[in-house]
Every structure is written in C-alpha cells, then in structure tokens.
Chains A and B, each alone.
Chain A
Amino acid sequence: MSKHIVIDPVTRLEGHGRIEIFLDDAGQVERAVFQVPELRGFEKFAQGRPAEDMPQITSRICGVCPMAHHMAATKALDDLYKVDPPPAAKKIRELAYTTFMAEDHALHFYFLGGPDFIVGPRAPAAERNVLGVIARVGEATGRKVIAVRKRLRAVMAAIAGKAIHPVFGLPGGVAKRVTPEQQEEFKAAAEEAVEFAKFTLGAFEKIVLGNAEYVDLICSDMFTHRTYYMGMVDESNRVNFYDGQLRVAGPDGVEWAKFDTGRYLDYIGEHVEPWTHVKFCYLKAVGWNGFEEGAASGVYSVAPLARLNVAAGMATPAAEAAREQFFATLGPGPVHHTLANHWARVIEMLYAAERMRELAADADLTDPHVRNLPTATPREGVGVVEAPRGTLFHHYQTDEKGLIQKANLIVATQNNGARISMSVEKAAKGLITGGEVPEGLLNMVEMAFRAYDPCFGCATHAQGAAPISIRVWKPGERRACPHVYQVKAS
C-alpha cells in the first residue's frame, strides 16, 4: 500500500499545483499538502513602468481573467489621477466587464469544474472534460455552448480590442467609443446570454440538484467550512462586480464590516508560512490563528458563494429569484458548503447576463465622449473589482511623472488561499480512509479546490513561486509551526 500519493499536476483550473498526500500505516491521511510551484513577480517588475501600462501588463497575470486585472488597474488609474470618467465610459467599461463575467463563469461550468458533475467525479479521466460534457449533453447543445461563448468573446473584443489581454482601459475613460451598429449586436448578444444563462441554470438543477448523490456531496461536512465571507456590494447591499463597497459577513451571516475599497489595508493582512510560497489573506482584526474556521479565525472566503452570502440580494430579477431559491434550498444564510460555489456561480452568470442586457440597451452607450483627460499630478491609487474568482485589489504608488514606485496586488484566489488549503485537507481526510485509492477518488480530492475556480497564476503573481501548501496536521500540532526558515542565499 502506498504511503505517499502525489497528484501532479492538478488539472482543470488556471495555474500550477500539486497535492502531496502522506498516509500513515493504517492507510489514513496523516497530511495533505497543496503546493503551487509557480511565481513570476509582477509587483516587482511593475516598478519603473508608466502607470498607464499597468492595465496591459497586469492582465498578463492571468489569461483567463485578464479583463479583471485590466479593469482593477484602470480603476486604480482613475484614482491615481483623481479623474472621473464620463458616464458613457463607465457604462462601456461595465458592459465589457459583465460580459466577461458571464463568459468566464460559463467557461468554468462547462470546461473546468462542471465536468465533475456533468460527467461524474469518478468517470474515467479521459472523459472528465469538456469533450465528455459534449458527449453527455449532446453535440447540438455542445455547439450551442461554444457558439454563445464565441459571441460573448466577440463583444468583449469589439469593446476592448482583444478578449485575451484587453487594451481599452485608460485613466479617465476608455480608448474607443461604441457605434450604434455595435450596440445592436450587443443587445442581441445579451438576449442570447440571458437565455443561455437560464438554460445553464436549468441544466445545473437537472443534472446536479436532481441527483441525490451530488446533493449529499454538496451538503456533506467533508466539503463544508464555516468561515467569514467578503464581497463587493452596491449601496443596497446587492452583488456588484464593477464598483461598490466591500462587505464582510461572519460565519453567523451577520455583517462584520463594510468599508471603502481604498481602506483595504486596514482590514486585510497577508500571512507567510515557512513551508509555502503563497501568502494567506486573513482579517487583521480577528487575527491569524492557523488554518481554522470559525469566528475566532481570520480566515475568510471570496467568490460566488461568498458574494451571495454577504449580499442582501441580486440587482436583476431572474438572478434574484434564483438566489432566493438557492437559500430556500440550502438553508438560511450563510451557506457554508464549498461545492455550492458551483450553483452560486451559475446564479452570478445569470446576473451578469441580465446586467449585460441593461447596459447594452442604455442610450448613453454610443455617446462619443468616452474620456476625460487627467490633469492632476499622480501619487497613489487603488482599484478594486470582483473578479470571477474573488475580490481583486490593485494599489499603485507613483512618482510625479506617473512611474510606478510601488505596486501591491492582492489577487482573488489569494483571499481564498487558506480556505482552499483547509478544503483539500478535509476532503483528503474524509475520502481516503485506508485501502486502495482509485484515481477517481483522487479526482474528488481535486474537486475540493475546483469549487473555488482557483487561479493560481493570479494567486502567485508575486515573484518567487507562491505555492500553496495545504497540510493536514496531527491533532495538537495545528497551531504551532516551530520552525522558522530563511530563504537560502544562492
């Protein structure tokens, strides 16, 4: 019997990772560690760059969610130059952004995390992917998924120049106006997006919620953690991806804090463990008390489930109805079941599509005034958005010429780092209980992180490898890390 199992690499996510599982003599999991071996260093090589280059440089943190980085960076530029974009520009930006949210959430459901449910978590590895999904839902539906995604990508490219690594963000607005012809296509595409999101929600309800085994899995303790949650909301506490304040709810669902994005440093700290490269975000006022859940631990979660947990509602009707059904089914808020992220994500897709429809129909969209030129001397700016995978912070300090002196990026999946560690650990412990460990079971361990739709390229933007180490500690070992390691000079 193997005492050391390695899952390498983790698959159907963005980024690099491996899971090391150590078994004791009885075949029980002694420790499970999630390591992310990659790192590139954006915060360092941003130094010296003109701030207006940051939307295009930071988009290369992630080619799956480049629009998120581009938008956070662009908003940081507005703040840096203290320039307010004209109304048309804000609507154009938000239209591109909400289209992206719908598309990216769809990508995750059909290509990344969804196959585990649609094809089955223990299906043969060769079938657990989008091709298996197409085989299961039928080629006509499969082609529809591909066609809708293509249309949404075309909308993004029409507005932003490119879908992968947009170019349109500038301080005070956007680079290009929208024409009336384009607006007609955007409206039609939005209608299709709403229908498609409803179809996806229906598919989820049928395939996942209609399957008792899956529902048990979602609600199982093995895939549950009771942590704090954070997300961006508008003035009525409804989910907003583009702008608003940040709201934090405790494990009991009660509002713990609500703050302006510019004050994030008052609330969020980054913790370093000696055995991993990624820094773990936590709530400073609560404190870091290890990889623990509960009100006494500063560990918190972001992304779809978290956003639904902190919000009082969705700002569009069909999504709001879906949200109400979500909480009616899984119990009054907050919902702590990690796999419920998949459901929350589809609800968010519906909101994103409905919001796309609202913005596409807006008369201001084709206004040619899409830019206010900056006049102030730049100094410091913060830009925050809700990326598909969580809250994304860009913070720049520049000299008087607008060259970056310091950049701080706290990136979506990083906020989830601690909870992802805990989820993989708990799932490994719950699933592997002695005897042979079939490959399908290992895939179910991977499902523990896939629910978060993690992006480790994002989480490890900082230079110097940011692996996430997830460890299963023996009882009594949990809090103390007796060793302090220094980087080896070499």
Chain B
Amino acid sequence: MKPKVAFYWCASCGGCEEAVIDLAEKVLDVVAAVDIVFWPVALDFKTKDVEAMADGSIVATFLNGAIRNSEQEEMAHLMRRKTQVLIAFGSCAQLGGIPGLGNLWNRETIFNEVYRDSPALVNPDGVFPVTEHRDNGHTLRLPRFFDTVRTLDQVVDVDYYLPGCPPTPNLIEQAIGALLSGKLPPKGSVLAPDLALCEECSRRDTKPEKLSLEAFHRPSEVLIDESKCILSQGVPCLGPATRSGCGAQCVEGNMPCTGCFGPTSRVRDAGAKSLSAIASMAASNDEAEIERILAGIPDPAGMFYRYSLPASRLRRKRQEAV
C-alpha cells in the first residue's frame, strides 16, 4: 500500500500548491509513489474524508499558510492528529509570511478599513459581517478572525520546515525523497541548506570583502547593474541574512533578495538580524550622517519583517499602539 500524503492551505495564496505542480513531470513520479488523500486545489476529497481516517494514518502532510482564523486553527489540529510527519510548508506556515504583516494591525482596524472606509463601498447602514448569522431558522457561521496571525508551530507541534515563498521545486522534490526513503534529519530541521544566500549567488565574486555604503537606494530610484552584487550598489539585499536553497532567483531577475527563505539556524529573529547586517554597512560614524544614510530605508518593519513578523520575538505591534 502506498504511503498517504496530504496537502492543505491555511491563510495562503496557493503559490505553494503551484510550486508542487511546478515539479512538472516529476509530479508523475510522486503520484506513482504516494497516495494523495487530500489536496483541495487539485482533488475532490473533502474534510469529512480526512476526519474519517484513522489518527496517524497519513504519513506526511504539507501544510502551508499562516493561522489567521479559527477554521485554519481547527484544520491545523485535525491534520496534526491524522499525520505522522507534519511539515510547515512555505514562509507563511514557517514564519507567518506576508499575511503576517497584518500583525501591524488587528481585527477592528482591518474590518473598519474594509467595511467602513473603502472608496468603492456603498454601505449606508454600516453593515459588518458576523461569526454567527441566523435567518429563517438556519444558522450560518463564519470562522473567528483573530487579532494576531500565528505561525503553524505556534499552534501545533511541527516536525519539519520547508522554507520559501514559495519553496522551490528542487527542495520539495528532495523533501519528498527524504520522506520516502526514511532518511530525515533531526526533528525540527529546516529542509534547506544552512548557509546564507550569498554563498550560492552568481554575483558572489563581485561582493566586496567589506561593504560600506554611503547611501541606501530604493529599487524605484536607480538602475541596478545586472552584473554586480546588488548590495554593493546600495540597494538593500537581504542575501547575507537569508537562508539559501532558492538559486537566488530574485537576483537572477536583477532585483534584491527580500528574505523569503527566512533565517539560518543560528538566528532567532530574522528581521532583527537582517536589520543588524544592513545597518552596520552605513558608511559613517556621525549620528546625523548615519540618519541621512538610513533614511534610504523608509520602512524597516516592512523590509526586515516582510515574511517573518509573527515568528519574530515581539510577534506583533503592541495592541495599544495600533
């Protein structure tokens, strides 16, 4: 009997699903080796089919997306129960991802934006959606929307992490291979090389030994030379503080790394570490001049915590300050 495998998505975009489909012809080898028992984007199995399975009968579940509402939390618990090896699949599940930027706000401010302050909105009666609606004897429920986005491991025990937004097909293929052969690293490992991205970047040889920058430029302000280290050109690139494994695709596209693979194992708060690396490069010892240079980074939280705010040490902006 083939081992059972499942895929599920929480607060996500479907990009991780597309990454699996981007295995292309290798997907056929995968489906020959495993039995996919749940994958809403592609297959018609329903949640009740999963509930009917015996606990632990699914060998591996790839769970992507952050935990934004109560339904996603319940699904995380369900999949954990039914699965032997639970893999946090992609940046959102591992670190909170881009939906994690919602942690700079909360439910009230978000609802107000959408149902009260939106430009095209016509809502004279101030109608807002609710978690329980009764009409004509029927009850319709919506999940509870949390104030705070959480990572998967803040909700359930996670066995492995596949980083990236999305994880690249080569890493997915390796992870599946490791699962099927039983040659898995220690529990809790991130299934990608434990090196910084600069190691695999094709522009590595043009990166100076000491990076000392007189200015930071926003990509909209300058033309980026296609052959030189992007950071050396003064455009913040998070390669030095980001885990490798992606092939430096963004740099190949002539844009800086934005940190989606998250930190290496030696870092606890990805944003703080990349902030430290970048700030250290300001070429001045004078407070006012340093301020001028750092003004080239107008949005530290959005730059350094783009994918990792829920996983950060502070997790979210103080509620009182929202």
Contact between chain A and chain B defined by CB under 8 Å: yes
A: residues with CB less than 8 A from B are: 7-16, 20, 22, 31, 33, 35, 37-41, 43-45, 48-53, 56-57, 60-64, 66, 77, 81, 107, 111-112, 125-126, 128-131, 134, 142-143, 146-147, 149-150, 153, 157, 160-168, 170-171, 175-177, 264-265, 268-277, 279, 281, 284, 288, 371, 373-374, 395, 401-403, 406, 408, 410, 443, 455, 457, 462-467, 469, 471, 474, 477, 483-490
Closest to A397 in B: B119
Flag if B127 contacts A273 (CB, 8 Å): yes
Number of B residues contacting the other chain (C-beta, 8 Å)?
A: 89
CA distance A146 to B135 in the complex (A): 47
Any chain A CB within 8 A of the CB of B233?
no
Any chain A CB within 8 A of the CB of B42?
yes
Q: Among B174-182, B216-224, B279-287, which stretch is in contact with chain A?
A: B216-224
Closest Cβ of chain B to A161, distance in Å, is 2
Closest to B250 in A: A167
Closest to B113 in A: A44
Picked from B22, B109, B220, B224, the residue with its CB within 8 Å of the CB of A374 is: B220
Q: Which residues of B contact A265 (CB under 8 A)?
A: 119-120
Flag if B14 contacts A64 (CB, 8 Å): yes
CA distance A16 to B142 in the complex (A): 12
Q: Which residues of B contact A163 (CB under 8 A)?
A: 18, 22
Flag if A125 contacts B45 (CB, 8 Å): yes
Picked from A60, A281, A284, the residue with its CB within 8 Å of the CB of B15 is: A60
Q: Which residues of B contact A406 (CB under 8 A)?
A: 119
Known: A269-B120, A457-B12. A52 touches B25 (CB 8 A): no
Picked from B43, B165, B253, B299, the residue with its CB within 8 Å of the CB of A168 is: B253
Flag if A9 contacts B40 (CB, 8 Å): yes
Any chain A CB within 8 A of the CB of B202?
no
Picked from B25, B97, B253, the residue with its CB within 8 Å of the CB of A160 is: B253
Flag if B129 contacts A464 (CB, 8 Å): yes
Flag if B145 contacts A11 (CB, 8 Å): no
Flag if B250 contacts A161 (CB, 8 Å): yes
Flag if A37 contacts B143 (CB, 8 Å): yes
Flag if B42 contacts A111 (CB, 8 Å): yes
Flag if A146 contacts B13 (CB, 8 Å): no
Closest Cβ of chain B to A390, distance in Å, is 15
Closest Cβ of chain B to A86, distance in Å, is 12
Q: Which 6 pairs between the two chains have the least Cβ-Cβ distance? A: A161-B253, A63-B15, A463-B110, A487-B128, A52-B220, A45-B101
CA distance A29 to B47 in the complex (A): 23
Known: A20-B140, A373-B222. A272 touches B121 (CB 8 A): yes
Known: A40-B102, A146-B24. A371 touches B223 (CB 8 A): yes
CA distance A490 to B105 in the complex (A): 15
Closest Cβ of chain A to B3, distance in Å, is 17
Flag if B24 contacts A149 (CB, 8 Å): yes
Given A40-B102, A272-B128, 4 other A-B residues pairs in contact with their CB atoms under 8 A: A41-B105, A64-B13, A126-B44, A486-B126
Flag if A52 contacts B99 (CB, 8 Å): no
Q: Which residues of A contact B118 (CB under 8 A)?
A: 43, 270, 279, 408, 462
Q: Which residues of B contact A125 (CB under 8 A)?
A: 43-45
Picked from B25, B45, B125, the residue with its CB within 8 Å of the CB of A11 is: B45
Flag if B44 contacts A177 (CB, 8 Å): no
Q: Which residues of A contact B249 (CB under 8 A)?
A: 157, 161-162, 167
Closest to A4 in B: B138
Flag if A61 contacts B255 (CB, 8 Å): no
Flag if B302 contacts A50 (CB, 8 Å): yes
Flag if A373 contacts B130 (CB, 8 Å): no
Flag if A487 contacts B68 (CB, 8 Å): no
Known: A13-B41, A164-B166. A485 touches B255 (CB 8 A): no
Any chain A CB within 8 A of the CB of B226?
yes
Flag if B302 contacts A53 (CB, 8 Å): yes
Flag if A11 contacts B44 (CB, 8 Å): yes
Q: Which residues of B contact A9 (CB under 8 A)?
A: 40, 46-47
Any chain A CB within 8 A of the CB of B53?
no
Closest Cβ of chain B to A164, distance in Å, is 5
Q: Which residues of B contact A274 (CB under 8 A)?
A: 127-130, 133
